[in-house]
Structure 1
Amino acid sequence: MEHQAIEDQLHGSSTWMKRFERYLPELVYGSIDGIVTTFAVVAGSAGAELSISVVLILGLANLIADGLSMSIGSYLSKKSEQDNYKKHLKIEAWEIENLPDAERKEIEDIFREKGFDGKELEMVVNRITSNKKVWLDTMMKDELGLTLESKSPFKAGLSTLVSFVIAGAIPLIVYILSYSGNTSLDPFILSSVVTALAFVLIGYIKTYVTQAGLIRSIAETLLLGAAAAAAAYFLGDYLRGIIT
């Protein structure tokens, strides 16, 4: 138990995160993309002085379209990795079955480069080539540098979609309240404050993926979001001056 606790601390694991950490990268980066993309639309619309109804139309359309695009990309990426692994696995299995001497020589070369020689090298090679599964796994990892992508492509895509939509909806919540007449405050300013708080939370969660320092992770997330929003705002303001 003590050893496990030390490992969890070193790897940045926590009890509540363990349930989700396998798909945590998709959840974090889906959230970042979602909130940055949607807030950029909000900022650009504010710069162009568009009405609340237009902001909602653009924001919601962007939220669904980009969320689906991101999730499909995540799904296809994981699926392609698995298909590529299976393709090379079949090739290596055929070579071991039909060209065993050549494949054994490759095992020798691999472990000779790792520092094995003489009887020690011969023993290692004999041990590996005596078990075809171990032999095949060794060829895949050490010769081709491939490991099987164990994540479900569907779950990876779904995690990306859900996180993108939930986080991306945050900048729009204030505009929805303003449109329904539930707040009299400036929707862009209030949306900026709410979005900034969301960026802080996402930056905190991101530390479990990148293992970066907490302050650095939050600062990076805030600065990148602010830069994207500022660019969109001033572009919207510039275009409004040209078009109107």
Structure 2
Amino acid sequence: MIDLHIHRSPTKPSLRLSEWLNVLRAGVLGMNDGIISTAGIVLGVAGAQQSSFMLFIAGISGMLAGAFSMGGGEFVSVGQQRDMQRATAAKQRQAISDDYPKELAELTRVYTAKGISTELAQQVAIELMAKDGLSATCREKYNIELGNYFNPWHAAISSFFSFFVGSILPLLTITLVPAKWKVAVTFFAVGCALLLTGYVSATLGQTRRRKAVLRNLVVGLLTMAVTYAVGHLFAI
């Protein structure tokens, strides 16, 4: 078995920026899905003219099913990513053991490609390979930091609770607002929430905010409209 353990300080390291961003990404997506999915479910039931109790049961069921689905999906996805990182690191360690000069030459080419002179690049590569060749080559060739793999539990917990929190808004509006206004209020409240999650998602992803917000809003409102219309077809 190949040991990829590296020595660390006694204190527990904090999450790196990349992992914090991964957790936030999972949280925002989970909340967004919680809002849209639960709103779609309760509006579909509302369209079928069901009682407030039935709306509540449908909403709770969708909330729990969606939260476990999102959390489990993130756990599997990030866990697979972590396994791939570890396998790549193990493969790279073997490559260094089998052909050290080749890996040294590849690391040198990485630095020359960044604009460093050949002589200096070779000197840097030699020193890094002598100190910790596995860490240096994994970082430069595969963007992997040894020992700092993504934790699937962080993403899973973030997705689970964010989906749960996102589900609360449509669930409360559809069950607590008077029957005359519950559908309209739910549409409005969910629309506002989608504007917020779209903005946050675009900010984290460093993409165009207006486009992301409008896209998120349109998809959410369309989902709710379709489910409400389908439910209305089966109105009692």
TM-score range, shorter chain: 0.7 to 0.9
> 1:113 and 1:30 mapped to 2: Cα distance?
39
Instruction: Give the superposition deviation at 1:106.
Output: 2.6
- SS of match in other structure, 1:94: helix
- The Cα of 1:237 is off from its aligned counterpart by 3.2
Q: Percent identity over the alignment?
A: 22
Contact 2:55 2:175 in 1 (8 A): no
Quote the RMSD (CA, aligned, Å): 2.7
Show CA shifts across 1:184-207 (max 9, x none).
Answer: 543222222222222233234334
Structure 1 stretches lacking a partner, 5+ long: 1-19
CA distance in 2 between counterparts of 1:113 and 1:50 reads 65
**Inter-partner Cα distance in structure 2 for 1:185 and 1:119:** 77
What does residue 61 of structure 2 align with? 61
Segment drifting more, 20-29 vs 217-226? 20-29
Cα drift, residue 24 of structure 1: 1.8
Pair 125,218 (structure 1): closer, same or farther in 2 beyond 3 Å: closer
Aligned-pair CA distance for 1:137: 2.5
Q: How many angstroms does 1:41 deviate by?
A: 0.9
Contact 1:42–1:188 (CA under 8 A) maintained in structure 2: no
Helix, strand or coil: the match of 1:46? helix
- Give the equivalent residue in structure 2 for 1:90: 90
How far apart are the structure 1 equivalents of 2:219 and 2:66? Answer: 19
1:30 aligned partner: 30
Structure 2's unaligned 5+ residue stretches are 1-19
C-alpha deviation, 1:59, in angstroms: 1.7
Q: Which residue of 2 aligns with 1:139?
A: 137
1:223 is the counterpart of 2:222: no
**Alpha-carbon separation, structure 2, partners of 1:21 and 1:117:** 34
Deviation, 1:22, is 6.2
* Alpha-carbon distance change, 122 to 78 in structure 1, aligned in 2, over 3 angstroms: same
Distance 2:116 2:208 in 1: 39
Matched, 1:159 2:154: no
Alignment check: 8 A CA contact 2:170 2:189 kept = yes
CA distance in 2, matches of 1:118, 1:35: 55
Residue number in structure 2 paired with 1:11:
none
| AA partner of residue 167 (structure 2) | G
Match for residue 10 of structure 1?
none
Q: How many residues align?
A: 216
CA distance 1:60–1:125, change in 2 (3 Å): same
